[in-house]
Amino acid sequence: MGWYPTRRRLIALGIMIILVLVGFIILSMVDTVELGYSAIIVDPMIGGVVSVVHGPRWYIKLPWQISVKIYTATDVLDMWTEEATGNIGDYPAIKCLTKDGLEVSVDITIRWRLDPSRIVDLYLNYPNLQWKAKTIASILRETVRNVISNFTATETFEKRAVISQIISREFAEAIRAERTLAGAIILEDVDLRNIELPQAFKTAIEEKLAAQQRKLAATYERERRLIEANATAAARILQAQGEARARLIEAEAIASQLRIIASSLGGNETQLANTFLTLQLLNEIAKNGGSIYVVVQGPGGAQIMPLLPLQPYREIRSE
């Protein structure tokens, strides 16, 4: 009687084990790949890649097959150094020599993504998935150093936009030409963040720029003053010309009046003009506060009599 319950227990235990194994096998066959990733299914039994699954989705593979998941969305490689804190990106800033032999530090960031249709070849060339560290970073350093070597230190300061364009173009060409990357790298952006010059050289450049600005300011001030002086001179010339024309008109009017007076009196025009000019001169002297004296020869000798200005009238009273 004791054998039957024992047999039932063993059968139940066996069924449970089988169900657990089946469940484990099913779970090992079902997998998922997330958005921005692709899964390469590798079969060790046949020694190769059997399929590629692009996320997001669920998929089924055989229990012994291996799933290698690769990030295919936009990736970033940072090469920079913060001098103040000592912090660095993925790698330190790139040390480069300029055309004139000065060492500069280049901070740069690149962004790229993988072409899902080419990731199998990329994986076969880099089964440890180290294409970023082994190849992309190396090509970037070499490209930046080659480009910087064609510019002087001053030019790296003045032509940063041009240098950035050249680095972007040459780095993209180098990536495409690298056989091991299998054309899987799609470059999206190259950001030349900074070119750090030696402090002494930066100080010299700043002083040079300040001197140039002072020179420009002095040139502008000189030209401004010259324009103002020319304008003032032109205004004075115009004023003098106007005054001269006014005097000429006045003189012509006086001459005309004198001719009319002389003609009506039957006198000499020249003598009348001299008399008029004398009186006009005396009038001008009087306006300016001057005094005119006339020397008169009398019986008692020469006497000086004031003529202008006239003395104010005073009433004489008898006492």
CA 40 → CA 44, 45, 66, distances in Å? 13, 15, 8
pLDDT tens-place string over residues 69-122 = 999 999 999 999 988 888 999 999 999 999 999 999 999 999 999 999 999 999
Q: pLDDT per residue over 140-196, tens digit each?
A: 999 999 999 999 988 998 899 999 999 999 999 999 999 999 999 999 999 999 998
The pLDDT of residue 81: 93
Distance CA 224, CA 218 (A): 10
Identity of residue 132:
K
Rounded distance between C-alpha atoms, residue 184 and residue 194, angstroms: 28
Distance CA 138, CA 96 (A): 14
Where b means 16+ CB within 10 Å and e means fewer, 104-137 reads bbbbbbbebbbeeeebbbbbeebeeeebeeebbb
